Amino acid sequence: MRRTRFFWLLCTAFCALALMVVLACGSLASWHFRRALQARAAADLELEAGQLAALLAGAGRPLAKSPADSLCKAFGRGVPARLTVILADGVVIGDSDQDPRFMENHAHRPEVSAALRGSTGIARRSSPTQSRPLLYVAVPIRPPEAGEAAQAAPLGVVRASLPLAVTDAPVRAFSARVWLLMLLAAIASAAIAAFVARQLVRPLHEIGSAVGRLAAGDLEARVPRVGQAEVAALAGALNEMADGFARRMRDVTRRSNEQEAVLCSMMEGVLAVDNESRIIRLNEAAARLLRVDSQRSQGRPLQEIARHVDLHRFVERVLSAQAPQEGEFVVRDDARDEGERILQAQGTVLRDEKGSGIGGLIVLNDVTRLRRLETMRREFVANVSHELKTPITAIKGFVETLIEGKNREPGETARHLDIVQRQADRLNAIVEDLLTLSRLEQDDRGEQVEFQLQAVHPILAGAVQACEVSAREKGIAVALTCAPELAARLNAQLLEQAVVNLLDNAIKYSEPGRPVEISAARTAAGLVIRVRDRGCGISEENLPRLFERFYRVDRGRSRRQGGTGLGLSIVKHIVRAHGGTVNVESKPGEGSAFTVILP
């Protein structure tokens, strides 16, 4: 439906009112003027008819036809009106314009009837003889002897008539001037109406514009207090409303931003769903945990977004229960090939201000690393216990044998003591490595490690010298490649220990006579130190766990070689303290290459 503008509505109403007033005033003025002219004409006709009636009354009675007609024609030549003399029985005996012999009886004319009753008769009608509207005035002819107070019957009637066109011409001229004046008044009224309407509508337009800007989000939009008192009061009320609205919007925006900042900053995933499991809110942490798009997930069913059966069951349990729920489940992402992730979930019913349940709120925590650390801790305790139990059991057994003195041969006693000494040395090495590993783990970020700009070649040469004896025993040549000017910010003692561990492993697990290479160079990634052997190599399934504590690829061979199972774990923590990384490339039968990259 098309809406009419308020300006045109006001203008139309004002103009219609002005037009009605103009029409009424013009019509009333014309009517009154016409009535006045006709009244004046009637008075003149009455005067003329009265004068003729007086002349006829003085002529005596009865009235004669011939003298009456002659007197009527003679008197009619001096006045504009038509004069007619009528006897009491309605017979016309004189007329200023016509021959009375051919005129019909006028007894039933209303003005004649009124005059015969003794009063002045006035009538307006069309004349049968002239076929035009006329004004008729009839006065009675009274006998002279009757006097003014006498009730004697009139001798006859003198009627004077005048065409109404005589009065219409002045009326038309007057009406033309009146209507011209009314037209000018109507135009002036329309202009005034347009001006007044514009003065009324302009503040309303400004109010509408300000309200539109407020609706569009411009909280600074205000309405100027102009115009009439009522409009100014309305503008003031709207401004106060806008101030309150702006304050509330700022509060809502601030709270929303704070809530959004809290949700976005949370490490825990927050998931809110309605009673039909459609997603109401999903923060970025939850989107990362579930591997979904937070923007495209709003309002969509959870089953469509995250296809994890255990999560769906937990959400259903939260929505159906009244008490808070806890659970833990495993999610898999085969598309990303990221393996399993363990999520811990806590959920409760989401309620509105009336306490009615409108959905559920679920908080998700990724406890994969925690569970892996717990598994590693259990394995570590088991491995430590196993590694310590072996030398302790051997030492205890041979010590008991020596105490019992069952074997008195000097050579056998020396062999037993040598075994006890080797097991004690191994036990001491394990304890030393554990202490070293503990210190490195306490300062995993290198915050308490002192770094200095030092040459790399002397450090690597010291590591080679430390392993020289074991390499010579197996006939293994260690080749060092490093530019003398190569330098970096590092801790020389820790780096040398890491390189010694790598060289020691390379020498232990290499066949006699096979060379071992150690090199250092500067690349775009940083300082790269590589230790490469031509030994037995490591299978691919063992590579991910190679740097774990007490992890052994071949446990029997490792123990025969005298390893503690902590060397590579120490290397990893030393490199991490330097802010670097360590990785390994190996194939069975082709040897291994350990690469340390320091920033």
pLDDT number for residue 438: 64
Cα separation values, 64 from 50, 53, 94, 401, 470, Å: 18, 13, 10, 194, 183
C-alpha 345/C-alpha 565 separation (Å) is: 37
Answer whether 0.95 is exceeded by the pTM. Answer: no
How do beta strands 133-141 and 121-126 pair? antiparallel
Tell me the domains of the chain and their CATH numbers: 6-171 (3.30.450.20), 217-263 (no CATH), 266-366 (3.30.450.20), 371-441 (1.10.287.130), 446-598 (3.30.565.10)
pLDDT number for residue 495: 83
**Residue 99: phi, psi to the nearest 5?**
-85, 120
3-state secondary structure string across 159-186: EEEEECHHHHHHHHHHHHHHHHHHHHHH
State the angle between helix axes of 6-58 and 165-215 in degrees (0 to 180), rounded to the nearest 10: 170
pLDDT number for residue 48: 84
> Which helix (H) or strand (E) element contains residue 66?
helix 65-76
DSSP letter assigned to residue 63: P
C-alpha 366/C-alpha 342 separation (Å) is: 6
Residue-wise pLDDT for 412-449, tens only, equals: 777 767 777 766 766 676 666 566 656 666 655 545 66
C-alpha 492/C-alpha 439 separation (Å) is: 16
Q: Are 139 and 118 in contact (CB under 8 A)?
A: no
- 256 pLDDT above the threshold of 80: no
pLDDT number for residue 518: 92
- 86 pLDDT above the threshold of 80: yes
Burial class of residue 549 (count of CB atoms within 10 Å of its CB; 0-12, 13-18, 19+): buried
DSSP letter assigned to residue 476: P
pLDDT class for 149, splitting at 50, 70, 90? Answer: very low
> Which helix (H) or strand (E) element contains residue 576?
helix 567-577
Q: 413 CB contacts (<8 Å, ≥6 apart)? A: 402, 407
Segment 575-580 shows an average pLDDT of 84
Min mean pLDDT across 310-324, 369-383, 524-538 is at 369-383
Residue-wise pLDDT for 376-399, tens only, equals: 677 666 666 656 666 777 777 777
Burial class of residue 592 (count of CB atoms within 10 Å of its CB; 0-12, 13-18, 19+): buried
Region label for 282, one of left (φ > 0), alpha (ψ between -120 and 50) or beta (otherwise): beta
Encoding tokens for residue 393? 């059991």
Name the residue with tokens 């009354």: 57
